[in-house]
Amino acid sequence: METERKIYCICGHYGTGKTNVAVSLAMDIKRAYPDKDVTLVDLDIVNPYFRSADNARELSDAGVIPILPDYANSNVDIPVLPPQIAGVFERDGYAVFDVGGDDSGATALGAYRHKLIARGYELWIVVNRCRPYIAKVSDACAMIAEIERSSGLTATGIINNTNLGAETNAGILRDSFAYAAEVCERAGLPLIATTAFSETSSLLTEEERARARIRTIRDATKKIF
């Protein structure tokens, strides 16, 4: 996922797995650049149930700086943006923004639009063919357009994170390849990667992994029992 940019915004509909992608990306960047500051900004102020804040200790242990909403992981859920976010644009390091999954989340990202444009950014949209509201290519493209409209930013790539959690198999992943390709074609955006857990990606052939740009990620989603 190498680019010349140093700020990565990960956005997508609820349940697409964008937090898995954001957390994995931040930790991968830190492993690649151990001497650089790497920050994970939890900008998911609209969904208190699956958020990067759940991984704060693990992120800190890996050397990633977590910036979390003031009331994350409490019984209070108030959409307040932490003032520490401003510092991300001032220091020479990398940052990953985990952005909320609807127009409110994208609007929150838009509060930093001018700073993002000045610094340079990637806005990667996470899609998941298994999610009902974006299972159709047309709906996925409508979501992308809404994120761009609400944030005032231009999407720069697609991440295919199609999965059914622990029920994911190689067939589900293979069936998503054509879907992701069509989303990319209609939206006019490149496929950055197809993400999968190691146990699923290992079931694919080498040719399939190369063609779909498979990237192995960790399971960072909080489990609710």
Report the number of distinct structural domains present in the chain.
Answer: 1
Q: pTM for this one? A: 0.89
Residue 223 lies in a domain: no
Residue 225 lies in a domain: no
**Residue 164 sits in a domain of what CATH number?**
3.40.50.300
pLDDT tens figures, 106-162: 888 999 999 999 999 999 999 999 999 999 999 999 999 999 999 999 999 999 999
Residue 222 lies in a domain: no
Q: Helix, strand, or coil here: 139?
A: helix
Residue 224 lies in a domain: no
User: CB–CB of 79/53 below 8 Å?
Assistant: no
- Domain range holding 137? 7-216
**Pairing status of strand 157-160 against strand 94-99:** unpaired
The tally of CA atoms less than 13 A away on the side-chain side of residue 72 is 20
Residue 1 lies in a domain: no
Residues 6+ apart with CB under 8 A from 90: none
Residues 6+ apart with CB under 8 A from 119: 6, 7, 89
Name the band, by pLDDT with cuts 50, 70 and 90, for residue 46.
Answer: low
Element (H, E) at 118: helix 113-119
